[in-house]
Homo-oligomer: A and B are copies of this chain.
Amino acid sequence: MDESNSKLTPVSSLGEFGLIDKLASNIMIKNSSTLKGIGDDAAVIKPDKDKLTVISKDLLLEGVHFDVVYSPLRHLGYKTAVVNFSDIAAMNGKPKQLLIGLGVGARYSVEAIEEIYGGIKTACEVYGVDLIGGDTTSSASGLVISATVIGEVDKDKIVYRNGANPNDLICVSGDLGGAYMGLLILEREKKAFQADPNVQPDLSDHDYILQRQLKPEARTTVVDLLAKENIVPTSMIDVSDGLASDLKHLCKESDTGCVLSEEKIPIDQSTFDTAKEFNIVPTVAALNGGEDYELLFTISQNDYEKVKKIDGVSVIGYMTDPTEGERLITSDNTSVELKAQGWDALKRKD
């Protein structure tokens, strides 16, 4: 063990039960539906009789989904929670409970695990979610984070991927491509550092896109704003693989085609500038860069006036008959086939 780590607490000094006790302390239950959190064979929830329960899980592995070289552990915990909350938002729901499973190698100290949980607990506070399960075990290799989120949706407001109809408008929240540009900056600085450890990373002027990559947010506020305007989207997904790939999911599940307008894709100025720096067409970054966690949804044309009132939502195209295919209208007004080169966790490592 490195000298600099000599003041850190080895996990073995607490053992599994000691660690659970330590991590579970200070957890205040916020939701009335949470009857029992950490500390029994299972957590217990009393579902509201007018709500549906939505559940999603994610498995994040070191070296595949994240790189601890440039992901601060606290941000990693925050992002793990938020990515799961985003899946619940994509069903038009609100996240309520979270369970975490952590596998840690021998080189992780109790303090490192507390950093990860610190980020998770912060995300739970921000989003009003109860942490109801936390299991930590040793790992023979890298860091493993498994998260399960439980949310609720009004019975008549659940939104699937398969409800879009031809002529429905395609909408997206926020802006796209930023998380991918943040990743490129981090990868570039990591390489520079590996080539010459005396080089300090140059992360200046990239705050926004770095935050998009390292500490993204889930668009649960959009769920609230849609409810306020009385809009129930006809289909919805969160943008995790990339706009093109995720829109194609909606088309496939809904049996529609689509027309996406390149010039309407929302792109932040710093995403635009960084793409240029890397010689990437900014809209290509927005179409194919993943992990933006914005909500991509379709609405009936009748809801157009209402959706215009929601700040930060852009109408970027419309659904069509499936026979018309999936089309992208480029900025020079040419219609081309919409192609996805989205992030695929399994193909990526070949």
Q: CB < 8 Å: which of B12, B91, B346 contacts A136?
A: B346
- Given A15-B344, A47-B52, A47-B53, 5 more A-B residue pairs with CB atoms under 8 Å apart are A39-B253, A42-B55, A44-B153, A55-B150, A57-B101
Known contacts A42-B56, A45-B55, A140 near B346 by CB under 8 Å: no
Instruction: Please indicate the chain B residues that have their CB under 8 angstroms from the CB of A91 in the complex.
Output: 40-42, 44
Interchain CB contact under 8 A, A344 and B17: yes
Cβ of A348 to closest chain B Cβ, rounded Å: 8
A-B contacts, 21 listed (Cβ < 8 Å) = A12-B349, A16-B347, A36-B160, A40-B162, A41-B237, A42-B54, A42-B91, A42-B93, A44-B52, A47-B47, A53-B53, A55-B97, A55-B99, A57-B99, A57-B101, A57-B135, A57-B148, A59-B146, A137-B345, A138-B346, A144-B144
Chain A 8-66 residues near chain B, CB threshold 8 A: 11-12, 14-17, 19, 35-36, 39-47, 49, 52-59, 61-65
- Complexed CA–CA distance, A155 and B46 (Å): 9
For residue A290, CB closer than 8 A to chain B, the reply is no
B-chain residues with CB within 8 Å of residue A56 when the two chains form the complex: 41-43, 133
- Count how many chain A residues have C-beta atoms less than 8 Å from C-beta atoms of the other chain: 76
* Interface check A151, CB cutoff 8 A: yes
Least distance between A23 CB and chain B CB atoms (Å): 12
Question: Known contacts A16-B345, A90-B41, A346-B138; is A55 also within 8 Å of B237 by CB?
Answer: no
Question: Which residue of chain B lies nearest to A100 when distances are taken between CB atoms in the complex?
Answer: B57
Given contacts A59-B146, A88-B42, A90-B41, contact A140 B64 (CB under 8 A): yes
Ranked nearest first, the 9 interchain pairs of A and B with the lowest CB-CB distance are A63-B140, A59-B101, A141-B141, A41-B90, A47-B47, A146-B146, A42-B56, A42-B54, A16-B346
Could you tell me the distance between the alpha carbons of A59 and B140 in the complex, rounded to whole angstroms?
13
User: How many Å from the CB of A160 to the closest CB on chain B?
Assistant: 5
Q: Is A139 an interface residue (CB 8 A)?
A: yes
Across-interface contacts of A44 in B (CB, < 8 A): 52-55, 91, 153, 158
